[in-house]
Structure formats: C-alpha cells, structure tokens
A and B are shown apart, each in its own frame.
Chain A
C-alpha cells in the first residue's frame, strides 16, 4: 500500500462514553422540528427522520488531495466522498463503536465467504443508477479496481491478494482474473490467493466503489465521476471550493439514507483562526480545522454547545529507519524512546492528546497499554554509550504543518541534549510522505502519524510494520522495520477470519514485540474538535469511527 497522506484522520471507535451520549442525542433529535421538511427514511442507526435544509456551509482545510474515488487518500477527501461514491459494503452511519459495523451498501447482503476463506461472493442490488441516469453494473466493480491500478492509486496495495492482481499491475491489460462479474444477475465473485481477515473492510473502502466503465484512467477531480450515493459532486475548484448537491437518481438504501442538506458548499481556508472566525461570524456552518490552542478556552466557554471534541483512532510517532545508521542499532532506537518526554509532547499539542507507547490506539479492543519507556534521559544516555551513535550526523524530517513542526523541533532539542548533531529538514506537506517513503531519500528519523483506513489491527501492523511489505517507493514502513518473528506473527494472524478475544490478545503481543524492538517512538494519540455555527442543531451530529463528521446527517435548529 502506498502512503496514506497523513491528514487522514480516519476515525475510530474510542470515546465510548461520548459516542453513546451523542448517539442518544442524535436519536433524540428525531423528535425535534426542523426548518425544512421532515420525512421518514427508514434507515438503520442514528436519526430515522430526514430534516432537509437548503445549504450546509463547510469551512475545510487544504488537505483535500483529490475528489476522485480512485485517488483520494486523505480524510478530507474521504469525508467528502463518503456520501458520494458507495462501495459494495459500507459502515453504519452512526456514532460510536457501532459505526465500525460492516453493512451491505450497493450489495444486497454481506459476502458469502467460502470455508477456505479464498472466495467472496456478492450480489449487486438491482435497479441502481448513477447520478447521470446510467445503470450501475456488476462489472463496474471490476472496472473500478482495474482503474485503481491504471491511475496508480494509493489503494492498489489493498487488492494485491486478489488472484491475478499482481499480473494486472504489471501489464495493466486484460482483466484481473480473480474478479468475475455478471451484469445480468449482478453476481460478483472475488478469489484471493490467501485468506485475509480484513478483506471485507477492504471491500468497504472508497477505492472499491464502482465507477462507470469508460471513466478515464486519470484524475477526474474537476470533471466529477457520476455518483452512486445520496450526493454528487457538482463542482470543484482545487484549493478554493467544491459543492456537493443531491443525486437526483438516488433512492434510499437500507443502510444509506438521503442526507439532510440539499447542498453542501465546501470552502477551502488555510488558516485555522480565519476558519474559526468565519463560523463564529455565521459565514460558515462547520469548521473542520482544529481550534487554535489559545482560542480553545474562550470558544468552549462562549460556544460550548457548538463545540464537539472527539478522539479518532490515530497514533503520532517518530519513525527511525532501521536501514540507516545509527538507527540500525536497537539500543539507539530504545534510547530515543526513553529520551522523549511524552507528557511534554502532549503540551505541545495544546493538551488535546494522550501520551502513548503503543502502536495501536487505545480505541482498539486489542490495545494493551505498554509502559516500556518511561522518560529517563540518564538511561537514554547510558544506552547510547559505546554505540558511537552520537558521531553520526542526523537529519530529522518533518513536514511544514504545525502538527509536524512542533514535535520535530522538540525531537531536535532532545537529540541535541543526547549529544547528537541533529538538524531539521522541513519540507512541504504535499510531498512529505512520498519523499520519506522513497528508499532513495534514506530518511533517518522524523515525524509520522497514522489514521486508520478501516478498524482492524492489520491496517496498522501489516501496512506499517510488516517487513515483507517494504517497497522502494510509496513505502509506508518508514522505519523499514523487518523482524522475522513479527512478520510471521502478522502473517499468521492475517489468516484469522474473525477478531476473537484470543486473536485480540495475540495482536496485543505483536504490539509489545514491535515496541520492545523500538521500531517507532510513538508519543501521542490526538484529539480533535468540530465546531458549528449557532444555527446548527448539534443533536444531529454524527461522528463516525472511520469517516469522522457525517455531513449528510447534520440539521439546522
């Protein structure tokens, strides 16, 4: 898999208490009147009433990479397109951990999986139409996956276990032999090389969303692809604005209801303070940006009911490249883990973070808190003694976003205290992940974060720390961590079809094994804010574990 561009705040379950409270609030809101029409949609989970209103004005940041389902790999892109391009499977549109429940979307039912775990059978719903009026066909699914390969999608790594995918990736001709589809019956069959416990989650990603055959194999962000979901992309001016409008062809599906806003106007604003002010002034309805640290107290006091704080599944860490000196020495990696004061890093994020030493975020049932590296500079210095590490010049890599600049400045200070000659290399966020994910860069150490693509430990350990998945370019394993025992354990657990308690315990063991080898220096799990204008009824607020704030469910007072 190619790098996930790290504003990908794809959420998670955590916040059980908050989730349930909000879910209750959301359900309660169905009885309230709205300024628009109210109608029943008969969907499962969350609000069962539609409360339409004319325009929902979103103030977004600059993180939208593409509005093409085959290319987008940021939370901004996914959050916007979640209600535009539907996949065969999807997730419940509800708050809290229940949002991680897989449900059929364009498929009639959940897939039938063969006993050997190698064959998945699904059936496309009948009479589905794209927003341009053309019929959705079963072979469109196959076309979408093949198009992913043709456009060099960052999501192709998800499909590499499909029979024939590897061959297709080389030739980009013919078809992927492991996918067969019948347009008359809607039957879709997918054959895998090996059992894969997270394959249903992969089918629910936006990369697997069917697109009309003939969609050009190049970025279609500004010439939007016809949609299957409740909204369509009406226009897109990169870095300025995009507009989502109702899809006239959409008919409510059992797990996907029509949205409340008739139109969603998304303005792209770079500055956090300016974005906040727009929403306070009523020029916008929703501020995607984090509230600036020094404004938090005031905003919370004055506009408390309009502010939502949530904890997506994320881990912020420093990668340490095990192929480069001095981090090829486990003692050096452990020394960095001892040297960083995670509580200090929490303060750098304005208190909106929790210290961590785990790879997995605490929202995961597999999470078992690790306490291997309490802050201890003396121990860190002792570990470095005799390694010769401090004589190696160090370049610390970071992107020019505030979330990266602060921790790398801190790390440089810490490494200087340890005796290293460390300098910073800050590069533009747009090229950061591809740069450090290229082996030629030989990035020694630097900032990284991860937000889940789907709620499964494989999305963390297999994607980020399996040495067998290290690639020359678009590498996600920035540490180039390659431990035979860890790789084997991941491969074994990958075959497990379900996440039983026993399997979860084994994933917790992998977490410990990785951190004993100090593959990373994880430091915080961050919390984020959503802020709304006074006209918005926040009782309709739905924050999904994966896609974060659900635009389609919001309503006005």
Chain B
C-alpha cells in the first residue's frame, strides 16, 4: 500500500509530491534555492515562527513612532515630577517621598515614593507598562530595547558569519600555513568560554571604547556605541561557524567541479567565491539564523551583567537587570523584556531549524558552545 506523505513532511521530495506540485506537467529542473523555498513553504510552523519574528522586528522598528505619537516621550526622557491622567485620576509618575519624625518614637521614618505602574491604555498610551526609577516610560524603553537588541543580534550575526565564511574559505582552500594560522586563531578563541570572553572584552571596551588609529585604519568607537557589543559578540562566535565551514570546504575543494575549474584556469578568488561559496551558502545561511537567536541571548546576558549595551540605551537584557531590584513589587519590569526575548529567540530557532531542513535535510547544523 502506498504511503501518503504526511502534510508536515518537509524534508525529502518524493517523486509523487514533485509530480503533484508540477500539476501533471513534465518535471523540469529547479534550482536548489527554489527547491528549498518549496520545502520551506510546506513547513507552516517555521513560517509562523518567521512571521512572529517579523512582527517583533516591525514592532521594535516602530519604537520612534510609538514614542513620538502615542507615548509622547523618548527612551531617555525622565519624568519624575510629572503627573499623568489615568482614567479620571491624576497620578504622579513618581510620588513625592521624604522623611519625617515619628511623633511617638521620635525616630526618623520614611515616606517612600510610589512609582506609577502599568496604566495599560487608560492614560492615552502614556506609561502603558509603568515607569522606571527615573520616571522613564517602560513601554517605550521596551520597544527601543528591542530595536537595540535586534540591531546587535542581527548585526553581530552578520559580521560573525561574514568573517567566519571568509576565514573558512581561506583556510579550507589554501590549507598549509594559512590553514594553520586561522585554525590556531579559532582555537585561541575557542579556548575561552564564550560568555566569559565576551564579558571580559565587553567590560574592557565599555570603559574606554575602542580606538585604533593606525596609519590607514581608524576606528574610534565610544564606550556607549552599539558597535562595541556587536563587535564583541561577533568576535567570540567566529570559530563556532568558521570551523565547521572550514571542514566542509576541505571536502569540497577535492571535488571534481573544483578540479574542473582549476583545469579551466580559474584563479583562487574565482574558485573560492564562484565555486565553493555557493556550495556552503546554505549552511552559512542556516548558521546565520541560528546565530541571530544565539546573539540576542548573548547580548541580553552581557547587558544584564553590565558589559553589553551601555546607559542610557535600553536593551532587553538591560531592562531585566534594571527591573530585578523591583521584581517583588513591579514584576512586569522583568517579565515583559523576558517574554520578548523568549518569543524572539524561540521564533528564530524554529525558523532556523525549518530553514536548515529546507536547505539541506541531511545537514546537522548546530551552534554548540
């Protein structure tokens, strides 16, 4: 009895499936990218996850619009002495506290301040998620935090993948001394636990920034720059992508199509980028999606520990760190960025797995450290 392919099957194309999709027409040659897309679009879970990620990106990207037109503030504007109309009540963002002498005990007592909690939509969009201890709008900071976390996550993943691919191509294609030097460089980074190395670099660079003023090469990044966590995170993860790609390239360079290209007189650059790169592109793309999720988590960890994004820029990890002192009385300060991180990372991981299955169902691409 013929077995019907399961609707969730998105790995190997069966002849029956291909014929059905071609609507009875003769089967024509399709590019690997087309085939991958066809497999991916059958994976509804992965597509839903991707849609969720796109939604997170869109909402975060809209932070300035929300801040300007809804909350009427900025991510760093302090409103400690302002009052907000919540429903019919006028509520101070941070109430006037102070100390007084207890008439009975004659001891100094505290009249603690009260910081506004979530107003939801009862204050015209202001302080939807309440305020922090500086009287800043938490919802605005959450959106801007998402923007920064995504910029650092995606930016560092891009840089990391780019450098890893280039180094892997050089090491894998040339071999010999070049391979030895590059693999030792990978080993050097690999020798340190990712988080510890990132904390050390992040903490050092967050004090003085990064300043390289060589004759032809000038880098001047101030301590608060988003480039610093981006560079640190991309640097510490290079071997985790570069090393498996190098392995693939070592195998690919022995293939016939490479020999054919050499025989035709193709130069090293042409072979590396014209022949080998397309064959590792699918792996690199999968690595990229998985690394984005990983980097968002790493950025959150670094910012939580004070070695990532610096004041006054918010990030999800930083918001969790700032909210932890008030976790008993204002848990939403930590829960909301926590949920945002979980949703984004899970969505990216599911999508990344789906992409991996679509691009190369037999590949085992994992980020492990």
> Contact between B108 and A15 (Cβ–Cβ < 8 Å)?
yes
> Contact between A347 and B135 (Cβ–Cβ < 8 Å)?
yes
A426 to B111, CA, bound (A): 30
Contact of A292 among B105, B134, B326 (CB under 8 A): B326
> Contact between A309 and B109 (Cβ–Cβ < 8 Å)?
yes
A428 at the B interface (CB under 8 A): yes
Counting chain B residues whose Cβ lies within 8 A of the other chain, the interface size class is 35 or more
Fill in one digit per residue for A285-301: 1 if any B CB lies within 8 Å of its CB, else 0.
Answer: 00000001111110010
Q: Which residues in window 407-429 of A have CB below 8 A to B?
A: 408-410, 412-414, 416, 423-428
> Contact between B113 and A292 (Cβ–Cβ < 8 Å)?
no
- A294 and B326 contact, Cβ closer than 8 Å, known pairs A346-B97, A409-B76, A427-B207: yes
Contact of A425 among B76, B80, B223 (CB under 8 A): B223
> Which A residues are in CB contact (< 8 Å) with B101?
17-18
B256 at the A interface (CB under 8 A): no
* Nearest Cβ on chain A to B334's Cβ, whole angstroms: 12
> Contact between A352 and B328 (Cβ–Cβ < 8 Å)?
no
Which residue of chain A has its CB nearest to the CB of B93?
A347
* Nearest Cβ on chain B to A341's Cβ, whole angstroms: 6
A233 to B290, CA, bound (A): 53
Fill in one digit per residue for B73-105: 1 if any A CB lies within 8 Å of its CB, else 0.
Answer: 000111011000000000000111111010001
> Contact between A431 and B207 (Cβ–Cβ < 8 Å)?
yes
B24 at the A interface (CB under 8 A): no
Fill in one digit per residue for A192-206: 1 if any B CB lies within 8 Å of its CB, else 0.
Answer: 000000000000000
- A272 and B110 contact, Cβ closer than 8 Å, known pairs A348-B80, A348-B134, A413-B77: no
> Contact between A347 and B99 (Cβ–Cβ < 8 Å)?
no
> Contact between B108 and A311 (Cβ–Cβ < 8 Å)?
yes
B338 at the A interface (CB under 8 A): no
- A347 and B96 contact, Cβ closer than 8 Å, known pairs A18-B101, A427-B207: yes
> Contact between B310 and A310 (Cβ–Cβ < 8 Å)?
no
> Contact between B97 and A347 (Cβ–Cβ < 8 Å)?
yes
B133 at the A interface (CB under 8 A): yes
> Which B residues are in CB contact (< 8 Å) with A406?
133-134
B106 at the A interface (CB under 8 A): yes
A343 at the B interface (CB under 8 A): yes
Q: Which residues in window 199-247 of A have CB below 8 A to B?
A: none
* Nearest Cβ on chain B to A403's Cβ, whole angstroms: 11
Fill in one digit per residue for A308-333: 1 if any B CB lies within 8 Å of its CB, else 0.
Answer: 11110000000000000000000000
A413 to B77, CA, bound (A): 6
A527 at the B interface (CB under 8 A): yes
> Which A residues are in CB contact (< 8 Å) with B109?
300, 304, 309
Which residue of chain B has its CB nearest to the CB of A414?
B78
A346 to B311, CA, bound (A): 21
> Contact between A413 and B224 (Cβ–Cβ < 8 Å)?
no
Interface size on A, residues (CB 8 A): 51
Fill in one digit per residue for A521-534: 1 if any B CB lies within 8 Å of its CB, else 0.
Answer: 00000010100000
> Contact between B110 and A309 (Cβ–Cβ < 8 Å)?
yes
* Nearest Cβ on chain B to A323's Cβ, whole angstroms: 21
> Which B residues are in CB contact (< 8 Å) with A18?
101, 106-108
> Contact between A350 and B112 (Cβ–Cβ < 8 Å)?
yes
> Contact between A344 and B80 (Cβ–Cβ < 8 Å)?
yes
> Contact between B224 and A424 (Cβ–Cβ < 8 Å)?
yes
* Nearest Cβ on chain B to A519's Cβ, whole angstroms: 25
A408 to B310, CA, bound (A): 13
* Nearest Cβ on chain B to A458's Cβ, whole angstroms: 28
A456 at the B interface (CB under 8 A): no
A223 to B336, CA, bound (A): 48
A400 at the B interface (CB under 8 A): yes
B306 at the A interface (CB under 8 A): yes
A297 to B115, CA, bound (A): 12
A402 to B134, CA, bound (A): 11
* Nearest Cβ on chain A to B74's Cβ, whole angstroms: 8
Contact of A343 among B77, B96, B106, B223 (CB under 8 A): B96
> Which A residues are in CB contact (< 8 Å) with B203?
428
> Which B residues are in CB contact (< 8 Å) with A413?
76-78
Fill in one digit per residue for A483-527: 1 if any B CB lies within 8 Å of its CB, else 0.
Answer: 000000000000000000000000000000000000000000001
> Which B residues are in CB contact (< 8 Å) with A295?
328-329
> Contact between A309 and B311 (Cβ–Cβ < 8 Å)?
no
> Contact between A351 and B97 (Cβ–Cβ < 8 Å)?
yes
A379 at the B interface (CB under 8 A): no
> Contact between B312 and A412 (Cβ–Cβ < 8 Å)?
yes
Which residue of chain A has its CB nearest to the CB of B329?
A294
A7 at the B interface (CB under 8 A): no
B222 at the A interface (CB under 8 A): yes
Which residue of chain B has its CB nearest to the CB of A395?
B222
> Contact between B330 and A294 (Cβ–Cβ < 8 Å)?
yes
Which residue of chain B has its CB nearest to the CB of A20?
B106
A426 to B110, CA, bound (A): 30
A533 to B70, CA, bound (A): 47
> Contact between B325 and A17 (Cβ–Cβ < 8 Å)?
no
Which of B80, B112, B222 counts the most A-chain CB atoms under 10 A from its CB? B112
Which residue of chain B has its CB nearest to the CB of A426?
B311
Contact of B107 among A21, A273, A402 (CB under 8 A): A21
A406 to B310, CA, bound (A): 13
> Which B residues are in CB contact (< 8 Å) with A402?
325
Which residue of chain B has its CB nearest to the CB of A425?
B223
> Contact between B81 and A344 (Cβ–Cβ < 8 Å)?
yes
> Which A residues are in CB contact (< 8 Å) with B105?
21
A405 at the B interface (CB under 8 A): yes
* Nearest Cβ on chain A to B284's Cβ, whole angstroms: 36
> Contact between A350 and B78 (Cβ–Cβ < 8 Å)?
no
A309 to B102, CA, bound (A): 11
Q: Which residues in window 196-237 of B have CB below 8 A to A?
A: 203, 206-207, 222-224
> Contact between B78 and A309 (Cβ–Cβ < 8 Å)?
no
Q: Which residues in window 46-86 of B have CB below 8 A to A?
A: 76-78, 80-81
> Which A residues are in CB contact (< 8 Å) with B110?
296-297, 300, 309, 351-352, 527, 529
Q: Which residues in window 279-325 of B have CB below 8 A to A?
A: 306, 310-312, 324-325
- A294 and B115 contact, Cβ closer than 8 Å, known pairs A18-B106, A343-B81: yes
> Which B residues are in CB contact (< 8 Å) with A15?
108
Fill in one digit per residue for B126-137: 1 if any A CB lies within 8 Å of its CB, else 0.
Answer: 000000011100
> Contact between B99 and A293 (Cβ–Cβ < 8 Å)?
no
Which residue of chain B has its CB nearest to the CB of A527?
B99
With A347-B95, A350-B133 known, 9 other A-B pairs at CB within 8 A are A18-B108, A311-B108, A347-B135, A348-B78, A351-B111, A351-B112, A408-B311, A410-B78, A426-B310
16 contacts between A and B (CB under 8 A): A273-B327, A273-B328, A292-B326, A294-B112, A294-B115, A311-B99, A311-B108, A347-B97, A351-B98, A408-B311, A410-B78, A410-B134, A413-B78, A427-B223, A428-B207, A529-B110
Nearest first, the 9 A-B pairs at minimum CB distance are A351-B97, A296-B112, A309-B108, A294-B329, A21-B106, A347-B94, A344-B80, A347-B80, A351-B113
